[in-house]
Amino acid sequence: MLLAKSCHDIDWLLYLVGDDVRRVSSFGGLAHFRPESKPAGAGDRCLDCAVEHDCPYSAPRFYRNAGPGWPVSVVTDGDLTEALRTGPYGECVYNGQNDVVDHQVVSMEMVGGATISFTMTAFTPAEQRKTRIFGTHGYLDGDGASVRYVDFRTGAEEIFTVSDDPSAGHGDGDDGLADAFLAAVADGDPSLIRSDAATSLAGHRVVWAAERARLTGTVVTLS
């Protein structure tokens, strides 16, 4: 789960701190999306389910309200109803086919002493990632659309708008990455790209360490 859906978050947090990770611990598991948690009267597929209209994990409601493009494009490039009726995305999430964690926390200690706490959970409304950064004189809150700055000393607050549409390609990040890469190639200037293969590998190592820590109940030290 961390590598498939939370690699952006881990990379983002490492970028913000700008330091190497020294130790990683992690806890979590598949606690809720299991057959024993299946609601009474639920069917095997959402389209044939008597309680689908009350289920917070209704696939028809989620995908029909998502609009064009992703994530519907992952499910089908044709008839959405037919895809939900016959494909894996229309199956009840409680049926037991899933072996992926539905919640996980990761704690990281950096070489310089800073700490990072990350939470991945399936149990949220459909909203953007949230980040809070604590400093010694204040903190920053961000959600992909705006950043809120709060000063501990004075109580003053300021809000900065960073994206008109945070849902557009990871808050415009996808377009920004492509633009930076093309500009770097066109100008022959690698400094226009803020990340490289080593940076990507660093994020992968944290994810692998977190999964090892979660499965073994240990704190993993990265060399």
Distance CA 8, CA 11 (A): 5
Residue 171: per-residue pLDDT: 65
Residue 176: per-residue pLDDT: 85
- Candidates 93, 98, 118, 100; CA nearest to 108 is 118
pLDDT tens-digit readout, 142-160:
988 899 999 999 999 999 9
DSSP-assigned beta bridge partners for residue 23: 109, 221
pLDDT of residue 169 exceeding 80? no
Q: Which fold has domain 2-32+99-128+167-221?
A: Dihydrodipicolinate Reductase; domain 2 (3.30.360)
The CA-to-CA distance between both ends of the chain, in Å, stands at 24
Q: Omega before 166 cis (within 30°)?
A: no
pLDDT of residue 173 exceeding 90? no
- Candidates 45, 64, 61, 65; CA nearest to 53 is 61
pLDDT tens-digit readout, 28-68:
999 999 999 999 999 999 999 999 999 999 999 999 998 78
Distance CA 35, CA 32 (A): 9
**Domain extents for the chain?**
2-32+99-128+167-221, 35-90
Q: What is the mean pLDDT of residues 106-124?
A: 96
Distance CA 101, CA 103 (A): 6
Structure tokens at 118: 């990350």
